[in-house]
Amino acid sequence: MKTLGLVVSLYLLLPIATVGQSDFRVAAGFGHPCGYCLSTTYNKYDIILEFVYGFPADLRNRDRGVFGAINAGYRFGKSENVALQKPWIIRVGPAFVSTEDFWVIERKTLLFASLGREFNISPKVGSEFLIGFPLMVFENEVRKGNYPISWGFFFIDPLVNAGSNFVYLDARIMLFYRI
């Protein structure tokens, strides 16, 4: 667990080592499929680079999981907010989702394209709403054991049976602080 904490800390703090602090922001929020997530974003001119780490909100209630993404984006629109930033953001980037329970380990690599909107409360504090659609690049499922006999007999879950045909929606609500 200590190793995971160190890796997450380094992952989130990586942009600080390479950029000036005025172009940097940290955020926390919730979304799908990232679940509870933390992100760091570097913004220069209208270009952004974002690192996201989260604990997945898997619809099938897995026990453990991890979400990681790196997004590149572009800001556009009229700078009408208090932070003098363009409020709309288009993001594209790869993401990795891994979930695990007693019977299955599932790993997915996705390519996201999303549109977001920032709402600034002050020049440093605000929120962001993001929605987009992913493209499944790779999916791997490893069965560790057989499901109990009663698993499918008494419990019917259409999402379990949908498998990779289920259309995921990328959506996040984030609160951020600009450093």
Q: Which domains does the chain have, with CATH numbers?
A: 2-178 (2.40.160.20)
- Quick check: bond before 134 cis, omega within 30? no
- Classified as helix, coil or strand, 156 is coil
The pLDDT, as a whole number, for residue 34 is 83
pLDDT of 14? 55
pLDDT at 89: 93
The string of DSSP letters for 31-80 reads EETTEEEEEEEEEETTEEEEEEEEE---TT--SEEEEEEEEEEEEES---
pLDDT of residue 55: 86
Report whether 129 contacts 140 (CB < 8 A): no
pLDDT for 11:
54
Mean pLDDT by 10 residues, the chain (179 residues): 54 51 84 88 90 77 80 88 82 90 83 92 90 88 70 45 56 91
Q: Which residues of 110-136 are buried (b: 16+ CB within 10 A; e: fewer)?
A: bebebebebebeeeeebebebebebee
- What are all long-range contacts of 152-160, with beta carbons under 8 Å and residues at least 24 apart? 157/60, 159/59, 159/60, 160/60
pLDDT of residue 177: 93
pLDDT for the residue 84: 77
What is the predicted pLDDT for the residue at 147? 62
